[in-house]
Every structure is written in structure tokens, then in C-alpha cells.
């Protein structure tokens, strides 16, 4: 059992994000899923990204930094940045996982800490995919695993979203559950 701090995607703290957090709790993990959008939710990724930009990355990062530390940091899409920031700025992380994207430590002019394994999960034709970040993730996160699934959906594990792919969601979730069990 580990403690997990899970950061939501640009849709906000949706029922799908809460369901994913509950799935990890069912495995015995202590999961915090904070709402960095103060209750706002967006059905369209672009609308959520626009809202996040209006709030500002610095404000969202500050909100995340005020939260209690965890052993594992997880992020979904734009939440991956918040999760990576925690790994890079707080000692004691034992792992990280990212759904709907990968992170590049150079975004923070940082080096990924040794001994902190991570996973990233994306679909091959995701319009928000960042291959350069994936390449850097694979190269610079010593114990990093990148999983690329068939499909074109961005929020592929978000039930009720048009991008939802039940088979891909199940496989990604199983891999994350197994990853957490190894920590």
C-alpha cells in the first residue's frame, strides 16, 4: 500500500477521475485527488485547457505545492505536469505515473531523481501527444516505462467521454495497479 496524490486532467475532477482514484483505493492505496479547478468541470479538453491557461500554470503549481506530500504522484494529461513537479521538488517520492501523456524533466530544467520509477500511458494517434516529451521521458527517466496503445483518443480511460476505450482503459489501469503493487 502506498499513498498517491492524483492530479486531474483539463476536464477537472470529473466522476471518471474520482472513479479511477476509487479503483486505486480498492487496491488498498491511500489516494488524494485534489480539485485544482475549484469545482469547475469541462466536457471539452480545449475548454479545460483554456481555463487552466486563464488561471495560470504558476497558480496551479502553487495549489499543488500546498498539498501534503505522497509517496507516489500520478497525473492525467495536464495533471502530469503537476505530478512531475512534485517528484522533482519534494524528496521521498517512490514512483510516478502519467495517463494521457509523458513529461520531459527538461521542462523544469531538472534531472529525474534516481530510483524513482515512472510509467506513461498514451494512444498512438492522440492529437495532444508530444513525441519529443516521450523520447526524453524514455531517455532520462532511468526506470521509466512508456506504453503506447492503439487508438486516437486522448482521455481514453475516462468513462462517458467520447475518447473512452474500455479495453485500453482496462489494460492501462491494470498496468498502473501492478506498478503500484511493486513499490
Q: What per-residue confidence (pLDDT) applies to 109?
A: 96
Per the prediction, the chain carries an average pLDDT of: 97
Q: What per-residue confidence (pLDDT) applies to 174?
A: 98
- How many residues in total does the chain contain? 183
Q: What per-residue confidence (pLDDT) applies to 138?
A: 97
CA nearest neighbour of 55 among 10, 106, 13, 101: 10
For residue 120, the domain's CATH number is 3.40.50.1820
pLDDT tier, 162 (very low <50, low <70, confident <90, very high otherwise): very high
Cα angle: 74, vertex 150, 166; to 5 degrees: 65
The residue range of the domain holding 62 is 3-182
| Mean pLDDT, residues 44-65 | 95
Angular region, 108: left φ>0, alpha ψ -120 to 50, beta rest: alpha
Q: Does pTM surpass 0.85?
A: yes
Cell numbers that stand for 69 in this block:
506530500
Query: What does the alpha-carbon distance between residue 166 and residue 171 come to, in Å, rounded to a whole number?
Result: 9
Domains in the chain: how many in total?
A: 1
Amino acid at each position: 500500500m502506498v499513498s498517491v496524490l492524483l492530479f486531474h486532467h483539463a476536464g477537472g475532477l470529473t466522476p471518471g477521475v474520482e472513479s479511477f482514484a476509487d479503483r486505486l483505493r480498492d487496491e488498498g492505496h491511500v489516494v488524494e485527488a485534489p480539485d485544482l479547478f475549484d469545482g469547475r468541470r469541462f466536457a471539452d479538453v480545449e475548454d479545460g485547457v483554456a481555463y487552466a491557461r486563464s488561471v495560470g500554470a504558476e497558480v496551479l503549481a502553487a495549489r499543488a505545492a500546498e498539498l501534503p506530500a505522497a509517496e507516489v504522484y500520478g497525473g492525467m494529461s495536464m495533471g502530469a505536469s503537476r505530478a512531475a513537479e512534485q517528484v522533482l521538488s519534494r524528496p521521498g517520492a517512490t514512483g510516478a505515473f502519467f495517463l494521457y501523456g509523458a513529461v520531459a524533466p527538461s521542462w523544469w530544467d531538472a534531472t529525474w531523481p534516481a530510483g524513482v520509477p515512472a510509467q506513461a500511458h498514451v494512444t498512438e494517434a492522440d492529437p495532444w501527444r508530444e513525441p519529443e516529451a516521450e523520447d526524453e521521458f524514455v531517455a532520462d527517466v532511468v526506470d521509466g516505462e512508456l506504453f503506447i496503445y492503439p487508438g486516437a483518443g486522448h482521455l481514453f480511460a475516462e468513462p462517458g467521454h467520447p475518447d473512452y476505450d474500455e479495453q485500453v482503459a482496462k489494460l492501462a489501469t491494470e498496468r498502473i495497479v501492478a506498478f503500484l503493487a511493486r513499490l
